[in-house]
């Protein structure tokens, strides 16, 4: 047994129990024990994630800003945390809810136990919760605001009343880079590298890794004017994932319209997909409890092929609102929502799901090659 495992086990047995409570906007109460950082009060929009692994990547995904993540898998932390698997520099989620924390980790790549990871990043959580009951509640009533911590129930309810949730809020401003930076092409393959400008609305590192395999990538802040992007004469522009309400990212639709008008190939993922829809004059709406998991079936409308996809979003593009401007390319087989579209008469396309995965299956990574082909003039 690894020495760290022994140390981790001893720490677990010596830890003093900290009673904690989770309260929800509908009045529901869940009792448990606090884990991670000392967090008397934490509040946010409570959602659930159905992936069986990838808890570290989920927690470090900036798209979870403003949310409390409930993991439906009952045993979390069993393989620890590896520095190389972080999707961003910090945890933007407000906290985590789990059924049971693993007492020790077992993975040769692990750098630290999940408990230490949470403490060192000032993230709190609650364990011992009946997450099956909680998930069924959220499925029946929809995502709702909640508050958890070691404070008394009355104090948590008072904090809950002040929580705004994610609708009508610009959360992108909390996660976007403050200054541009470059990511070098990692696989030139003997050809002149392409150049891509990537808008950072909350971009994941796995996306940057996939983009760097096809291009030199220049990442810019979310509010960068289109004129600055066009002046760089990129081969393509990428619109990243990100948190919150797409209608609150006020500068993005105008910038996207200007980029399309300049005839620059464009590819959007998740929030980038929603922002493209808004740029075309479409509408977005909030899903009852969102799509958060690594096992969503999506059908390619052109080929009939079904891909198992990784997803993390609360809002969706209404395809009927832009039916005259786009062709729907992908459909979610669980609820028939719009999962992909291409813009008629323009070199632009987008998907609602995460083809880069991280975590999740790699069925859809071909879309990055499709983007490269579009930039090289090979069509979409």
Q: How far is 3 from 221, CA to CA, in rounded Å?
A: 43
d(CA 95, CA 65): 10
* Residue 333: how many other CB atoms lie within 10 Å: 14
Kindly report each contact of residues 369-374 with a partner whose C-beta sits within 8 Å and lies 24 or more positions away, as own/partner.
369/214, 371/214, 371/236, 371/238, 371/265, 371/267, 372/194, 372/214, 372/215, 374/236, 374/265, 374/267, 374/347, 374/349
356 is catalytic: yes
Number of helices (H) and strands (E), helices first, in the chain? 11, 19
Q: Shortest CA distance to 54 belongs to which of 307, 293, 314, 308?
A: 293
Active-site pick, 45, 87, 339, 356? 356
Could you say which of 115, 270, 296, 316 is catalytic?
Answer: 270
How far is the C-alpha of 175 from the C-alpha of 249, rounded, in Å?
Answer: 12
In whole angstroms, what separates CA 158 from the centre of its chain?
A: 29
Q: What is the largest CA-CA distance in the chain?
A: 65
- Rounded Cα distance between 191 and 317, Å, is 37
Mark whether 270 is an active-site residue: yes
Give φ, ψ of 80 to 5 degrees. 70, -155
- Among 315, 374, 349, smallest CA distance to 45 is for 315
Sign of CA dihedral 19, 24, 25, 26: negative
Lateral strand order in the sheet of 338-343: 181-183, 215-221, 194-200, 236-239, 266-269, 348-351, 338-343, 326-332, 283-300, 306-318
DSSP label of 234: -
**Structure tokens that stand for 351 in this block:** 């998907």
Residue 210: active-site member: no
**275 within 8 A of 253, measured Cβ to Cβ:** yes
Q: Which one of 49, 291, 296, 354 is the catalytic residue?
A: 354
Cβ–Cβ under 8 Å, residues 376 and 194: yes
End-to-end CA distance of the chain: 52
Catalytic center residues: 270, 354, 356
């Amino acid at each position: 047994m690894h020495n760290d495992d022994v140390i981790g086990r001893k720490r677990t047995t010596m830890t003093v129990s900290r009673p904690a409570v989770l309260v929800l906007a509908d009045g529901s109460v869940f009792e448990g024990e606090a884990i991670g950082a000392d967090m008397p009060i934490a509040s946010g929009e409570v959602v659930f994630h159905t992936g069986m692994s990838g808890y570290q990547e989920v927690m470090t995904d900036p798209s979870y800003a403003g949310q409390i993540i409930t993991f439906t898998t009952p045993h979390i932390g069993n393989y620890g945390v590896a520095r190389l698997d972080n999707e961003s520099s910090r945890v933007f989620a407000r906290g985590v809810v789990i059924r049971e924390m693993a007492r020790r980790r077992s993975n040769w790549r692990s750098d630290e136990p999940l408990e230490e990871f949470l403490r060192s990043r000032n993230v709190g959580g609650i364990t011992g919760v009946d997450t099956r009951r909680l998930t069924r509640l959220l499925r029946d009533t929809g995502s709702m605001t909640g508050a958890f911590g070691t404070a008394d129930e009355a104090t948590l309810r008072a904090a809950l009343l002040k929580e705004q949730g994610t609708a009508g809020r610009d959360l992108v401003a909390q996660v976007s880079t403050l200054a541009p930076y470059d990511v070098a092409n990692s696989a030139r393959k003997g050809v002149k590298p392409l150049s891509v400008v990537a808008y950072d609305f909350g971009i994941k590192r796995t996306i940057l890794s996939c983009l760097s395999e096809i291009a030199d990538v220049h990442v810019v802040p979310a509010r960068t004017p289109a004129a600055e992007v066009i002046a760089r004469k990129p081969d393509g522009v990428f619109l990243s994932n990100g948190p919150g309400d797409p209608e609150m990212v006020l500068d993005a639709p105008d910038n996207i319209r200007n980029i399309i008008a300049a005839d620059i190939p464009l590819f959007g993922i998740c929030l980038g997909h929603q922002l493209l829809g808004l740029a075309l004059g479409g509408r977005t709406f909030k899903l009852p409890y969102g799509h958060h998991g690594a096992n969503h079936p999506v059908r390619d409308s052109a080929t009939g092929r079904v891909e198992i996809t990784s997803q993390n979003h609360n809002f969706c593009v209404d395809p009927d609102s832009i039916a005259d401007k786009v062709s729907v390319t992908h459909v979610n087989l669980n609820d028939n929502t719009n999962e992909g579209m291409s813009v008629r008469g323009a070199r632009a396309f987008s998907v609602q799901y995460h083809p880069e995965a991280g975590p999740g299956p790699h069925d859809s990574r071909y879309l990055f090659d499709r983007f490269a082909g579009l930039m090289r003039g090979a069509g979409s």
